[in-house]
């Protein structure tokens, strides 16, 4: 995505989908002017009962509406949307609105902006910067939650079946082992 991109385009990407804590950041970048916007899907959409009901897809749909309102695409605008599942409702909605939509892998500027936004959100809730250096953060974030599981569990995507079956027990067990 860093090369020459002819015409008007809006790129859409997400960050946080595979991370243990918080929700997801969705970012949109309008080219050629580099106009950027982002929105957050809250962690509550990834917790019971909302996760089972796929609330995050409804939230993403609302974000799609905001992108259209803010970015003001016209019939010439091409949307390039990351292939991630959380963005599937955005792709469908844009197609329903008869926009030109291409499913792509996002790299470069937008990917970096959205990733930085997710890391900033993590810092806002108290995750130390040094724990966020690597993009593969699952174990680091599990250890961070395990330091104070009774307090930090509210930040976890607890709707994941693996949280109840495996990771919750490990987080609480690790904490108690350190006492």
Domains of the chain: 9-120 (3.30.420), 128-178 (no CATH)
Strands (E), the chain: 9-15, 24-31, 35-41, 78-82, 100-104
> Is the preceding omega at residue 70 within 30 degrees of 0, hence cis?
no
Q: Residue 159 and residue 86: Cα distance in Å, rounded?
A: 15
Q: What is the mean pLDDT of residues 35-39?
A: 96
Q: pLDDT tier at 176 (50, 70, 90 boundaries)?
A: very low
Residue-wise pLDDT for 53-92, tens only, equals 999 999 999 999 999 999 999 989 999 999 999 999 999 9
Alpha-carbon gap, residue 123 to 130, rounded angstroms: 10
pLDDT digits (tens, 9 = 90+) for 115-139: 999 999 999 999 999 889 877 888 9
pLDDT band at 7 (very low <50, low <70, confident <90, very high): confident
What's the CA gap between 53 and 51, in Å, rounded? Answer: 5
What local confidence, expressed as pLDDT, does residue 179 receive? 38
């Amino acid at each position: 995505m860093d090369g020459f991109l002819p015409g008007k385009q809006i790129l859409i990407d997400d960050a946080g989908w595979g991370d243990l804590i918080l929700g997801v950041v969705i970012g949109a970048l309008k080219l050629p002017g580099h106009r950027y916007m982002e929105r957050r899907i809250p962690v509550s959409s990834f917790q019971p009962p909302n996760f089972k009901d796929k609330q995050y897809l409804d939230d993403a749909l609302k974000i799609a509406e905001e992108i259209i309102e803010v970015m003001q695409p016209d019939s010439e605008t091409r949307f390039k949307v990351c292939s991630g599942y959380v963005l599937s409702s955005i792709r469908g909605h844009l197609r329903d609105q008869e926009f030109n939509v291409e499913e792509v892998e996002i790299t470069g500027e937008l990917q970096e902006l959205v990733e930085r936004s997710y890391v900033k959100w993590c810092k806002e809730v108290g995750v130390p910067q040094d724990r966020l250096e690597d993009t593969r953060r699952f174990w680091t974030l599990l250890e961070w939650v395990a330091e104070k599981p009774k307090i930090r569990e509210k930040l976890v995507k607890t709707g994941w079946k693996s949280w109840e079956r495996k990771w919750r027990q490990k987080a609480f067990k690790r904490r108690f082992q350190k006492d």
